[in-house]
Structure 1
Amino acid sequence: MDETPATPVITVGLNSGQATFDYAMTELTALVEANHMTVVEQVQQSLTRPNPGTYSGTGKVEELATIAADDGVDTIVVNDELTPSQIRNLEAGTNTRIIDRTGLILEIFANRAQSREDKLQVQLATLQYQLPRLHTSASQRLDQQTGSGGGGGFTNRGAGESQTEMSRRTIQRSITHVNRELKEINQAAETQRAQRDRNQLPSIALVGYTNAGKSTLMNALVQRFGKNEDKQVFVKNMLFATLDTSVRQLVFPDQKKLLLSDTVGFVSQLPTQLVKAFRSTLAEAANADLLVQVVDYADANRDAMMATTEQTLREIGVTDVPMVTVFNKADLTETPYPTRAGDQLILSANDDASIDLLVQTLKEKVFHNYVTANFLIPFADGDVVAYLNDHANVLKTDYQAAGTQLRVELPQADFNRFKQYVVTEPTSNPS
C-alpha cells in the first residue's frame, strides 16, 4: 500500500457555457484522486473561449500564481488539453508544473499498466502526446542548465532548436519500435481470438464508463459460472482501477458456454492517443456477439456517461454489435430491482437475483441458434452420448433396445454434426 502523502494540486476549468461543465470538474477531481493527488482548491473562470496564449485570462493567471504561492502548491491540473505554448506560458506565469487533462489521464494509465501490451500502448500514446510538446520540455531543460539572460541568449536558443530536433528523432524512432512490438502482440491476440472463434463459443463484452462496476459484475458471474472460479479480476472504487482486458469462460448448468470479456473503462474526453493505442485491446468489443453496457445507476450523470461510452465505441468502429444496457448499483438507490424492460436491466452486481436475471437475458440473446431434438444413438456409439452429456443440455434420457434415446438442447452446429441420429425434427429454442 502506498503511504506517500497525496500531492496537493489546484484544479482549473473554463466554463464556456457547456451543460456538462460541473460534471467535468467533478470528474477531474476523481481523476486527480486516482493519480494519488488531492485538490486543495478549485478555480473556475467563465470565458467564451480559452485564451490562445495562457488558457485562462491574464488576471486569472496572476490569481493562480498567488493561490499556488499561498497554499504552497507546485502543481496545477487543467480540465482541457492545452497547446504547447499554453503549457509553457502558464508554467512561466504561475511558477508551477502544469498538467492538462490529457497528460493527467496518461499518467494514470502509465501507473496502472501491468501487462506488456498495456505498457506499450500507454508508452505509444505518451510519445504521440509528447511529440508536438518537445519545444516546451527542451526549453525547460536548457533553462535549468544554462540560466537565462546575458549575452548567451542567442547561443541557448540555437542549442534548444538542436535539442528539439534530436529529441524529435528519438521519439519518432521510439514510436516506430513500439508500433513494431505492438503489431507482434496484436498478431498473437488475433490468433487467440481466431482459436476462440473456431470453438464456436459466443462472446460477450462488458463496456462502459470507468468505475461503473464492470469488474464487479464480471466477478459475480465468474464466481458462479466460471470455469476457474479463482480467476477473479481486480476491483477497486477508483477510476481506471485496471486496464487489462480479461476474458473468462462461463459454463451454465444447462451446459451452455460463452466467453465474457471485461474491457478498459471509458471517461469523457478520453485522449485520442489512448483511444487509438487501445484499439487492439478494445477489439474484444468489436468482435463480440453482444455488448453489455454497464452504467452506474446511482450516478446523477449517468446519461452523460452513456453518451461518452457510445461515442467512444463509434470512435473505435464498434457500430453494429447488439447491446444490452445494465443499470448497475441499484442497491444504492430507492429503485426496486432487479427489473427488466426489453434490453434494459436495473440490478445490483452484488445480488444473486440480479445475476439470475442478467444470465437469463444474455442466454436469450446469444443462444438463439440452439435447437431441441430427439436422438437415438446405438450403444456402440457411446462416445456420442458422452459428448452430448458434456457439451449439450440433455433434457431426457431413455434406454431402448436399439440404443440410448436422448432429448437434447444443443447448438445448430452440433445438431448438424449428429444429424444421422435424429429421430424427430428439431424445434427452435431461443434461450
Structure 2
Amino acid sequence: MRALDRLFQRRYPSVGGVSNEQARELAAISFGIGRQVGVLIDRKGRPSMVIVGTPDGIYIPDLSRSRVAGTRLRGLRLVHTHLRGEGLSEEDLTDMLFLRLDSITALNVTAMAEPGMMYWAHLLPPGQPGPDDEPYRIFGPVRFDQVDFDFEGQAIALEDELGRSGEALARDETGREGVAILVNVSSQPRAEAEASLEELADLAKTAGLSVAETVIQRVSKVNPKFIMGKGKVAELEILALRTGAQTLVFDRELSPAQIRNLAEVTERKIIDRTQLILDIFAQHATTRSGKLQVEMAQLKYLLPRLVRQGHAMSRLMGGIGGRGPGETKLEMDRRKVRERIDRIKSDLKKLRKRRGNTRARRAKVGLPVVSLVGYTNAGKSTLLNTLTKSKVLAEDKLFATLDPTSRRLRFPQDKELILTDTVGFIRELPAELREAFQATLEELEAADLLVHVADAAHPELENRIEAVNGILHEMDLGDIPVILALNKWDIATPATREIILSRYPDAIPVSALSREGLRPLVRYIVDRVLWRERVDGATMYDGTSAFADELYTVSSEYENETDPLKD
C-alpha cells in the first residue's frame, strides 16, 4: 500500500509517458502483487487515480467528474502494466474509446520483474482512419526506455482537430440546440429504414437539433441490452466524437434499461423517437389545454423511467426489523408524478366536458362539422386559413398545430358549417400522446365528414395515407365519410400526378397556397353535408351544384366577408 501511495506522489513526463525509474517501480509493484497496476495521469503529469486490477485486466471506475464534452477528450491518459507479454487488448482499446481517454499505454513486465516492451494507442482525428480503417492508431512494441512520443502534445493536437470539425458543423447549423446522430436499428428493408430516418431528421430539426450523421443497422434480432452490438456502439461513439455530437437519437422507443445502458457506455444523451416527439409537442404547446396534455404525456413516459441513481435514492432500510424510515426519494418522486397525472386527468376531463357541451350546442342548432385530418405538415392549417380567411399558425414544420381550431363557413342560403383543424398524425404515434390528446381527437367523433389532407409532393405519400387511415381505424372512426384532398398539387411533377391519380382516382387535387382545386373540394363538401338536405339522394359531388358556386365565407368573428374562391 505504501508503494502504491508513492505512485500517487509522482509527476509523470509527457514525452515517453513515464520515466525509466517510474517504469521500473510500476513493474516491480505489479510483479510483486501479481496484478495489473494502472495510473490515470492528467495533462500536467499528475496522477488522478491509481488502480489495481486482476492478473488479466483492469477496471476503470466512474470518471463522471472528469471534464468531458462533445468534441473534447477526457484529459486523462492511462498507463498500466501487462503481466503476460501481450500488447494492447481489445478491452484496452474499447476503454480508451468509450471513456475518451487521451491515450492508453501498456507496459510489459518481464519474468525478472523488470519493465520490457511498451505499447500505446490514441484516437485519430476526422478523415484519418487507421491501417484497417480503425478509429485509432497503435504503436509498439518499443523498449520502455526508447519511447520518445509526446503524449500531451498529441492529445492537445487531436482535441484541437476535433474542435475544429465541431465548430464547422456549428457554423453550418446556427441557432440549433445541439448536434445529434440519428440511428435506425431494425429488421425492415433498407429503403424503409432510410425513409423512416428522413422523417426522424425532420423531427430532430423541428426540435432544434442539428443532424450530423445517420446510421442504419439491419438486424434479425434487436440486442435487448444495447439495441445494437457493442462494436456498433463503439463506431457510434467514434462518429459522435468526430462530429461533436452530444446526442444519439434512436428511431424507435427504447426501454428504460436500454437508455441507461447506452448512456452509461457512451456518456452521451440518449433520446428515442417518443421522447423527441414529446419534446416537439412541449415546444409548440401554447394554450393551457395543450400544455396539460403534453405534460401528462411526458409524465406517463417518465414514470417507468424513474430509477434509483446513486446512494441518495437507494432504500435506507427494509424488510423485517427494518421498517419505519418511510418512503425513499425514488418512491416520493413516483408518488408525486402519479398525483400530478391524476390532477391533469381531472382538468382534462373538465376540458372534454366543455368541448362536449360545445359539440352538443352545434348539434342542437344543426351545424354540420367537417374536420381536417392528415399526416403532420400536410398543410391542414394552411387549407383552413385559405378557406376561412383566418390566421391560424401554419408553418412548414411538424406538429405546428396541437389544439383543435374551429372556424365557421357561411353560405348565402342561410347555411353554415364548422370547419375544424386537428393535431397531425404520425406513424407509430406514441400511446402516451394518443391518450393525452383524447380531448382533442374527440372532435373527430362529432364530424359529419373527414377531409384527409395529404402531401401529394411527398415521396412517402402512400405510406403516410395508410398510416393516417390506420390511426382513424384504431380510433373507431371508420363509419365517418372521408374524402382525400391531395394538397401541394402545384409542386408535384406531371409524372407523379399521373401515378397518384391512377392510385387514388376519387381524390381531389388542391393547393392551399395557389388555391388550385379549391372549388371542386368545396363543392364536394357542400354536396356531402349541406346539399343533401336540399336534393334528395345527392350525397356525392356531381359538379352541378350552383349552390356551392355561390359560397362565401367569414371568420369566426364574421368579419371581412369575401369569396375565398374568387380568382
Using structure 2 for the length normalisation, give the TM-score.
0.59
| Match of residue 416 from structure 2 | 257
Q: 267, 275, 300: which is aligned to 2:434?
A: 275
SS in 2 for 1:102: helix
Shift of 1:23: 1.2
| Match of residue 364 from structure 1 | 527
Q: 1:209 aligned to 2:375? A: yes
Shift of 1:73: 1.8
Whether contact under 8 Å (1:65, 1:95) holds in the other structure is no
| Match of residue 384 from structure 1 | none
Cα distance 1:372–1:286, how it changes in 2: closer, same or farther (>3 A)?
Answer: closer
Shift of 1:48: 1.2
| Match of residue 412 from structure 1 | none
User: How far apart are the structure 1 equivalents of 2:318 and 2:412?
Assistant: 72
SS in 2 for 1:20: helix
What letter corresponds to residue 267 of structure 2 in structure 1?
N
**More helix by proportion, 1 or 2?**
1
Q: 462, 467, 471: which is aligned to 1:312?
A: 471
| Match of residue 401 from structure 2 | 242
| Match of residue 298 from structure 2 | 126
SS in 1 for 2:328: helix
User: How far apart are the structure 2 equivalents of 1:258 and 1:266?
Assistant: 24
| Match of residue 110 from structure 1 | 282
What letter corresponds to residue 209 of structure 2 in structure 1?
M
Whether contact under 8 Å (1:206, 1:262) holds in the other structure is yes
| Match of residue 365 from structure 2 | 199
Shift of 1:328: 0.7
Whether contact under 8 Å (1:81, 1:100) holds in the other structure is yes
Shift of 1:68: 1.8
Cα distance 1:154–1:67, how it changes in 2: closer, same or farther (>3 A)?
Answer: farther
What letter corresponds to residue 329 of structure 1 in structure 2?
K
What letter corresponds to residue 345 of structure 1 in structure 2?
I
Larger Rg: 2
| Match of residue 74 from structure 2 | none
Q: 1:68 aligned to 2:236? A: no
SS in 2 for 1:248: strand
User: Could you report, residue by residue, the CA deviation over 1:114-168 in whole angstroms, capped at 9, with x for unpaired residues?
Assistant: 1111111111111111111111xx42xx37x79xxxxxx9979999x93322211
Q: 165, 187, 191: which is aligned to 1:16?
A: 187
SS in 2 for 1:249: strand
What letter corresponds to residue 288 of structure 1 in structure 2?
A
Cα distance 1:203–1:69, how it changes in 2: closer, same or farther (>3 A)?
Answer: same
Shift of 1:72: 2.2
SS in 1 for 2:373: strand
Alignment root-mean-square deviation, CA: 2.8
Q: 211, 218, 227: which is aligned to 1:55?
A: 227
Whether contact under 8 Å (2:315, 2:328) holds in the other structure is no
Q: 1:324 aligned to 2:483? A: yes
5 Å matches for 1:145-156?
Answer: none
| Match of residue 554 from structure 2 | none
SS in 1 for 2:517: helix
Whether contact under 8 Å (1:323, 1:343) holds in the other structure is no
Cα distance 1:243–1:196, how it changes in 2: closer, same or farther (>3 A)?
Answer: same
| Match of residue 40 from structure 1 | 212
Cα distance 1:72–1:372, how it changes in 2: closer, same or farther (>3 A)?
Answer: closer
User: Could you report, residue by residue, the CA deviation over 1:93-126 in whole angstroms, capped at 9, with x for unpaired residues?
Assistant: 1110100000000000011111111111111111
SS in 2 for 1:298: coil
User: How far apart are the structure 2 equivalents of 1:196 and 1:309?
Assistant: 26
Q: 1:97 aligned to 2:269? A: yes
User: Could you report, residue by residue, the CA deviation over 1:194-223 in whole angstroms, capped at 9, with x for unpaired residues?
Assistant: 111112011100000001111111111002
| Match of residue 5 from structure 1 | 176
Shift of 1:284: 1.3
What letter corresponds to residue 282 of structure 2 in structure 1?
A
| Match of residue 165 from structure 1 | 331
User: How far apart are the structure 2 equivalents of 1:102 and 1:157?
Assistant: 35
SS in 2 for 1:10: strand
Shift of 1:296: 0.4
Q: 1:180 aligned to 2:339? A: no
Whether contact under 8 Å (2:178, 2:246) holds in the other structure is no
User: How far apart are the structure 2 equivalents of 1:168 and 1:324?
Assistant: 45
Q: Gapped runs of 5+ residues in structure 2?
A: 1-173, 320-324, 537-546, 548-567
| Match of residue 382 from structure 1 | none
User: How far apart are the structure 1 equivalents of 2:228 and 2:179?
Assistant: 21
| Match of residue 349 from structure 1 | 512
Whether contact under 8 Å (1:68, 1:94) holds in the other structure is no
Shift of 1:20: 2.6
What letter corresponds to residue 294 of structure 1 in structure 2?
V
Shift of 1:288: 0.1
Cα distance 1:68–1:342, how it changes in 2: closer, same or farther (>3 A)?
Answer: closer
What letter corresponds to residue 336 of structure 2 in structure 1?
T
User: Could you report, residue by residue, the CA deviation over 1:286-316 in whole angstroms, capped at 9, with x for unpaired residues?
Assistant: 1100000000000110111011111222232
Shift of 1:325: 0.3
Shift of 1:80: 0.4
Whether contact under 8 Å (1:220, 1:355) holds in the other structure is no
SS in 1 for 2:337: helix
5 Å matches for 1:371-382?
Answer: 371=534
User: Could you report, residue by residue, the CA deviation over 1:256-297 in whole angstroms, capped at 9, with x for unpaired residues?
Assistant: 311000010011111011011111201111110000000000
| Match of residue 201 from structure 2 | 29
Whether contact under 8 Å (2:187, 2:221) holds in the other structure is yes
User: How far apart are the structure 2 equivalents of 1:78 and 1:91?
Assistant: 12
User: How far apart are the structure 2 equivalents of 1:372 and 1:86?
Assistant: 61
Cα distance 1:248–1:154, how it changes in 2: closer, same or farther (>3 A)?
Answer: closer
Relative CO higher for 1 or 2, CA cutoff 8 Å, sep ≥ 6? 1
Residue identity (%): 38
